[in-house]
Amino acid sequence: MLPITRRLLANAPRRLQAVSLRPNLALTTVARASVTASITRSAFSTFSKASFAATLSKDKAFTADKYPHLQRNQEFKKLADDDLAFFKSILAPSALTQDEGDLEAFNNDWMQKYRGQSKLVLKPSTTEQVSQILKYCNDNKLAVVPQGGNTGLVGGAVPVFDEIIISTANMSSIRSFDNVSGALVCDAGCILEVLDNHLAERGYIMPLDLGAKGSCHIGGNVATNAGGLRLLRYGSLHGTVLGLEVVLPDGTILDNLSTLRKDNTGYDLKQLFIGSEGSLGIITGVSILAPKRSKAINVALLGVSSFEQVQNAFKRSRDELSEILSAFEFWDKASIDLVKQHLVAGANDPLESEHPFYILIETSGSNKDHDDEKLNNYLEGLLTDEVVQDGVVAQDTTQFNNLWAIREGIPEACSKTGAVYKYDLSMPVPVLYDMVEDMRTRLDENGVLGEGKPVKCVVGFGHIGDGNLHLNIMAEKYTDEVTGLIEPFVYEWTAKQHGSVSAEHGLGLMKTGALHYSKSPSMMKLMRNVKDMIDPKGIMNPYKFLP
């Protein structure tokens, strides 16, 4: 093979350099360095309610007007003065938001696709206050929407009509941490990044990591069963959440904040609420198992020529990196082109040439020398066998952050391009990128894709380790024509591959009507029975989740 030789740039990540190890065979050695456990990455999705509100247009159509098939449940009461009087009797004045301008940030989703018409936001600070609020709302048939950091991508955390928003923003206390077991107990309104920083000081780490970690709440993460960048290493929240405190629609406080790893006494009720998206109650407390923070972390960015080689690199990583493999991300050239175009902060491509696909690999372990050797041998083999064409390995914290900034900057770059149709799909890895190519072909054949046309571009990126594709379609604006070409095609295509229409974002309002592509009629019926049993009046986050 032709050796991959690159000059070492000052202040740049170390390149993969070819040297002759024995006669007639050019192999590659990797200059390497571990990044210490104190690393924290910046969150590109961090935003304040005030700054978010400043970007919103009051001329934007309400969700109810954009989707006329949605009809307000006339059994729900409209907010009245007597209701306000009750809420004011249990909450401080600062815990109620009624100003029209202030309400905009709560009524609009992060994607600025959905806009509700709530006239009231309540910000309780205790579980008991949440209980009082829900009992009153249930007794009076006032519909409610639980809201955390409002970073969701499927319209699940904003009202459809005039539902009362119950925000967990004032519930942000860390209740306890067991430095022996790693069990963390906290309020639902704790910001994910704050929790991760708290644990970092004690040598632990949160088992999930999201681009929106600077804004999202742990309660919302659990309610949506958020996946993220650490799922490959630590698994889903169904496995790491030890217990929950939940307020049911009738005000009952379900205290299941266990810190036990083993409890085989009956139904594991907390699982009902993980991924329930606020349809069954409001999560007010979370007990979660935090792993030890790794002492040695390596990050490599690789350029590859095909999606087949992406798969080959992944298969080899499972064999050769095994227990130290903590992340395996991929994106296509169209994705990184957008990142470059919009100059996403910190996201600089260190590779000297462009490639059809890119891979970001992270390893984390406790023995630097051991991890370095395993990664070195793995990368050496990839280059020898021409699985990858180029690559760099981070040498310090800044470079570590910069490499991750490319991956985390893709959603930000997409949002700066125009109206984004986001699809979060899971399917068998071998067909994962076929979805992107088939979507491009479909839009192109229908004359809507390209410069000066309704759709600007289609990108694909995601988590190879768990078969999760993020398909993003950037358009000039949301239109019925473009939507009709994308849906239900994207869902039907996924169903044919026995995939899921929602890998980690949830259903929200966007995918409620697509549930049948992933769940059988009998499963949907059972889900409806559970909903009707726990929330018989249907006040919890109505019009979403279940058709």
**Residue 7 confidence (pLDDT) above 80:** no
| pLDDT at res. 23 | 24
CATH code for the domain defined by 174-289: 3.30.465.10
- pLDDT, averaged across the chain: 90
Residues 6+ apart with CB under 8 A from 166: 121, 122, 124, 130, 133, 134, 144, 145, 146, 147, 282
**Residue 217 confidence (pLDDT) above 80:** yes
Residue 361 corresponds to which amino acid? I
| pLDDT at res. 18 | 37
pLDDT per position as a tens digit, 460-469: 999 998 999 9
CATH 2.60.40.60 at 49-167, yes or no = no
The two beta strands, 282-289 and 183-187, are antiparallel
**Residue 9 confidence (pLDDT) above 60:** no
Q: Where in the chain is the domain with CATH 3.30.465.10?
A: 174-289
- Per-residue three-class SS string for 231-276: HHHHCCHHHHEEEEEEECCCCCEEEECCCCCCCCCCCCCHHHHCCC
Q: Where in the chain is the domain with CATH 3.30.43.10?
A: 49-167
Cα distance between residue 337 and residue 331, in whole Å: 11
What secondary structure does DSSP assign to 281-319, as a single string? -EEEEEEEEPPBPPSEEEEEEEEES-HHHHHHHHHHHHH
Q: How confident is the model at residue 229 (pLDDT cuts 50, 70, 90)?
A: confident
Helices (DSSP H) in 33-170: which residue ranges? 49-54, 63-66, 81-90, 100-107, 127-140
| pLDDT at res. 6 | 35
Q: How confident is the model at residue 138 (pLDDT cuts 50, 70, 90)?
A: very high
Phi, psi of 424 (to 5 degrees): -115, 100
| pLDDT at res. 51 | 53
Residue 445 corresponds to which amino acid? E
**Residue 5 confidence (pLDDT) above 70:** no
- Over residues 430-435, the mean pLDDT reads 98
| pLDDT at res. 245 | 99
- Domain 418-510: state its class: alpha beta
| pLDDT at res. 404 | 93
Provide the percentage of residues in the chain whose pLDDT is more than 90: 84
Cα distance between residue 422 and residue 510, in whole Å: 10
Cα distance between residue 486 and residue 442, in whole Å: 9
pLDDT per position as a tens digit, 347-394: 788 998 999 999 999 999 999 999 999 999 999 999 999 999 999 999
Long-range contacts of range 59-66, CB-CB < 8 Å, 24 or more positions apart? 60/108, 60/112, 60/115, 61/115, 62/115, 62/116, 62/117, 63/114, 63/115, 63/116, 63/155, 63/158, 63/159, 63/160, 63/509, 64/117, 64/160, 64/161
Global pTM value = 0.88
**Residue 1 confidence (pLDDT) above 70:** no
Q: Where in the chain is the domain with CATH 3.30.70.2190?
A: 14-39+294-412
Q: Which of 96, 133, 123 is nearest to 248 (CA)?
A: 133
pLDDT per position as a tens digit, 485-519: 999 999 999 999 999 999 999 999 999 999 999 99
Q: What angle do CA 6, 11, 17 make, to 5 degrees?
A: 20
Q: Which of 285, 291, 261, 328 is nearest to 200 (CA)?
A: 291
SS3 165: strand
Weakest-pLDDT range from 5-9, 114-118, 256-260, 319-323 = 5-9
- Over residues 60-68, the mean pLDDT reads 93
| pLDDT at res. 50 | 54
| pLDDT at res. 39 | 37
**Residue 31 confidence (pLDDT) above 50:** no
Q: What angle do CA 162, 165, 166 make, to 5 degrees?
A: 155
C-alpha torsion sign, points 107, 486, 450, 330: positive
**Residue 255 confidence (pLDDT) above 60:** yes
Provide the percentage of residues in the chain whose pLDDT is more than 70: 89
Fold that domain 14-39+294-412 belongs to in CATH: Alpha-Beta Plaits (3.30.70)
Within 10 angstroms of residue 175's Cβ, the number of other Cβ atoms is: 14
Weakest-pLDDT range from 33-42, 344-353, 519-528 = 33-42
Q: Which of 45, 394, 31 is nearest to 217 (CA)?
A: 45
pLDDT per position as a tens digit, 468-484: 999 999 999 999 999 99
